[in-house]
Amino acid sequence: MNIFDEALVSLQQAIDFEEGATSKGRTVNRKLKPIVPLKEYSGEDIKRIRKSNNYTQTYFGDLVGVSLKSVQSWEYGKSCPNGSARRAIAIIEKGEEFLEKAEFIHE
């Protein structure tokens, strides 16, 4: 089967699914662990976390995956981090050892 044929099969599966057909694919039956709710972070919280790790706003932004302007906006209370940024901040808050395990940083 070439890539064109595979694409056609995938497209047909998507159409079937949209029309309510049950999946012919593999179903994984396992219990998923509950996800810890996202923590809310104030500007003071973000600044405290950043400073306790001796990170500049630029470095902190790079770790979170946002711009310097975003970090400044959070710290000044003009905006709040979104869900993915809050999850990254929670990881940063755990410290550098955790960041290394999560492969955010390396030696």
67: helix, strand or coil? coil
Tens-digit pLDDT string for the chain (107 aa): 788 777 777 778 778 777 777 666 666 678 889 999 999 999 999 999 999 999 999 999 999 999 999 999 999 999 999 999 999 999 999 999 999 998 989 87
pTM, full prediction: 0.69
Domain ranges of the chain: 43-101
Which DSSP category does 76 fall into?
A: T
At residue 24, the pLDDT reads 62
Query: Which of 1.10.10.10, 3.10.620.30, 1.10.260.40, 3.20.20.450 is the CATH number of 43-101?
Result: 1.10.260.40
Q: Given CA atoms 36, 47, 66, 100 in this order, what sign does their dihedral have?
A: negative
Q: Given CA atoms 57, 61, 67, 73 in this order, what sign does their dihedral have?
A: negative
At residue 106, the pLDDT reads 87
